[in-house]
Amino acid sequence: MVGAVMEYRIVRFSECPVAPWRNGLGETAEIVIEPPTADFRQSTFLWRVSVTTIEKSCAFSVFSGYERLSVQLDGGRTKLNHNDGAKWSVV
């Protein structure tokens, strides 16, 4: 967009709201969600960025209609197993 003005906002991690996962086996700190009034638990968002803590081995919560991108920030190896038999290891 030519001439568009970008707005920037500093987001402090300590100020991000934290919510338990749908399955109760981890938690998510939400950094940003669009639109800002959306609720990720009701799947009313267009996109979101969050930081997750995985407590133990478990299935991902289902977010039908959304594409997920995961990046490991800390910790040891994380293994992901898909229902179709595909397996990934994230270091």
Q: What is the pLDDT along the chain (91 residues), one digit of tens a residue?
A: 566 777 888 889 899 999 888 777 888 899 998 998 988 878 889 999 999 887 777 777 777 888 887 777 887 777 777 777 666 666 5
The answer to whether 48 touches 30, Cβ cutoff 8 Å, is yes
Tokens representing 77? 């190896």
Query: Which are the contacts of 3, defined by CB distance < 8 A and separation ≥ 6?
Result: none
Q: What gap in Å lies between CA 58 and CA 42, rounded to an integer?
A: 21
Q: Structure pTM?
A: 0.69
State how beta strands 18-20 and 87-90 pair.
unpaired
